[in-house]
Structure 1
Amino acid sequence: MKNKITVILKKNLANLGSIGTVVKVSSGYAFNYLIPRDFAQLATQGSLKHHKMFLDMKQQKLDEIQDKLQASAQKFNKISKISVKKKVGNNNQIFGSVNDKEIISKLFSITGEKLEKKNIYLPNIKALGIYNLNIIFTSDIQVSMKLQILPFFA
């Protein structure tokens, strides 16, 4: 029977797991391959305690970020519709298109919250009308609102 020892992975390994995973492997595999190549470290009481503390800190940071995103989403949930004025040509076609920068600046002026381009999903807009605008913070936190394109006469 082979002796199994516990190690903490330092790198992602397809057959064992991801960084920080605590796994049991045979002692020969650990001492001859994983540890010399710095793929893993021996799991002692101290290193396991350190690993648990590190995971707790990481989870705490993730919770703080999640709370900030929830607060931002609450601000955006209060907005049901935003309007953007664009120059209009024939057949209610607008000159150019509505882009992410315009939407981000409009939402910033309303809420004071900065968004990134990757958070905003809007369709290709070339005409006047009402469109759906989706703001996605994470897979769990999403906000939908209406985007109204109005004519601008200079």
Structure 2
Amino acid sequence: MKKKITVILKRNLVNLGSVGSIVKVSSGYAFNYLIPFNFAQLATIGTLKHYSMFLNIKQKKLYEFKSKLEIVIQKLNKVAKITVKKKVGNNNQIFGSVSDREIFLILFNITGEKLDKKNLYFPNIKKIGIYNLSIVLTNDVKVDMKLQVLPVFI
């Protein structure tokens, strides 16, 4: 007769589950492999209570993040186009290029939200014109807008 015990996984394991999953495994597998290699911990009443407490905290943070994300999306969707003015030389080429810092400053002035550098995707801009700008907030949330580069003559 095999005796099964309950463990909480600390790492993602292909055959068992993901981090935080509560699974029943044989006692030999748990005590000889999972627990010594720190893949899991024994599920006692205290650890299960501790796990549920952290799960509740994680749910609250996720809810707050989603609500804040909705506000940011609404503010960014109101902005259809942003404009950057740059000094122009010959053949409508600008001096330097448009940096992400300039775009972040304009978006911050319009929306009041600070964005991450990793979230912004746009081509290397060396000429005046209209370009596509993508802001990826999460894996499934993407906001597209136009970036217009206008000339400033000296």
Q: Tell me the CA shift for residue 46 of structure 1.
A: 4.1
Q: Tell me the CA shift for residue 5 of structure 1.
A: 1.6
RMSD of aligned C-alpha atoms? 1.8
| TM-score, normalised with respect to structure 2 | 0.88
Q: Tell me the CA shift for residue 32 of structure 1.
A: 2.7
Report how many residues are paired.
154
Q: Aligned equivalents of 1:139 and 1:117: distance in 2? A: 15
Q: Tell me the CA shift for residue 15 of structure 1.
A: 4.6
Q: Tell me the CA shift for residue 117 of structure 1.
A: 1.0
Q: Aligned equivalents of 2:141 and 2:12: distance in 1? A: 28
Q: Tell me the CA shift for residue 14 of structure 1.
A: 4.9
Aligned to 2:60, the other structure's residue is in SS state helix
Q: Aligned equivalents of 2:117 and 2:33: distance in 1? A: 44
1:6 and 1:25 in contact (8 A); partners too? yes
Give the AA of the match of 1:43. A
User: Does residue 22 of the first structure (1) align with residue 22 of the second (2)?
Assistant: yes
Determine the structure 1 residue equivalent to 2:94.
Answer: 94
Q: Which runs of 5+ in 2 are unaligned?
A: none
Aligned to 2:5, the other structure's residue is in SS state strand
Aligned to 1:115, the other structure's residue is in SS state coil
Aligned identity (percent) is 69
After TM superposition, the structure 1 = structure 2 runs for residues 16-95 of structure 1, keeping only pairs within 5 Å, are 16-95=16-95
Render the CA deviation track for 1:96-133: whole Å, top value 9, x for unaligned. Answer: 11110010011111121111211111111111110111
Q: Aligned equivalents of 1:148 and 1:20: distance in 2? A: 47
After TM superposition, the structure 1 = structure 2 runs for residues 108-147 of structure 1, keeping only pairs within 5 Å, are 108-147=108-147
Aligned to 2:139, the other structure's residue is in SS state coil
Determine the structure 1 residue equivalent to 2:105.
Answer: 105
1:88 and 1:151 in contact (8 A); partners too? yes
Render the CA deviation track for 1:11-30: whole Å, top value 9, x for unaligned. Answer: 34455333212122111121
1:69 and 1:141 in contact (8 A); partners too? no
Q: Tell me the CA shift for residue 63 of structure 1.
A: 1.6
Q: Aligned equivalents of 1:116 and 1:91: distance in 2? A: 33
Aligned to 1:17, the other structure's residue is in SS state coil
Q: Aligned equivalents of 2:90 and 2:4: distance in 1? A: 76
Name whichever of 121-130 and 25-34 sits farther off. Answer: 25-34
1:83 and 1:148 in contact (8 A); partners too? yes
Q: Aligned equivalents of 2:116 and 2:33: distance in 1? A: 43
| TM-score, normalised with respect to structure 1 | 0.88
Q: Which runs of 5+ in 1 are unaligned?
A: none
